[in-house]
Amino acid sequence: MTFTVDHTRLKKGIYKDDITYDLRTVVPYVEPLMSNVCMHSIEHILAVKLNEKINKIYFGPMGCQTGFYLLSDNPEEEVYKALYEACVEALEEKTVPFKSRAECGNYFSLDFSDEVKEKLEILRDLAKEALENPGCFVYPII
What CATH number did the domain enclosing 121 receive?
3.30.1360.80
Contact by Cβ (8 Å): 29, 8: yes
For the cut 80, the answer to whether the pLDDT of residue 1 exceeds it is: no
Domain that holds residue 84: 2-132
Cross-strand partners of 3: none
- Asked whether residue 85 is assigned to any structural domain, the reply reads yes
Q: What is the pTM of this model?
A: 0.95
Contact by Cβ (8 Å): 85, 48: no
Question: Looking at residue 2, what is its pLDDT?
Answer: 67
Q: What does DSSP assign to residue 31?
A: S
CA atoms within 13 A on the CB side of 123: 34
Contact by Cβ (8 Å): 40, 60: no
Contact by Cβ (8 Å): 63, 10: no
Question: Which of 28-32, 55-59, 63-67, 73-77 is predicted least confidently?
Answer: 55-59
pLDDT digits (tens, 9 = 90+) for 88-120: 999 999 999 999 999 999 999 999 999 999 999
Q: Pick from 60, 51, 59: which is nearest to 82 by CA?
A: 51
- Asked whether residue 139 is assigned to any structural domain, the reply reads no
- Asked whether residue 50 is assigned to any structural domain, the reply reads yes
How many domains does the structure of the chain reveal? 1
Buried b (16+ CB within 10 A) or exposed e, 4-19: ebeeeebebbbbbeee
pLDDT digits (tens, 9 = 90+) for 2-49: 678 899 999 999 999 899 999 999 999 999 999 999 999 999 999 999
- 26: three-class secondary structure by DSSP: coil
- Asked whether residue 142 is assigned to any structural domain, the reply reads no
- Asked whether residue 137 is assigned to any structural domain, the reply reads no
* Cα 136 from Cα 51, distance rounded (Å): 25
Cα–chain center distance at 58: 11
Cross-strand partners of 24: 13, 67
- 115: three-class secondary structure by DSSP: helix
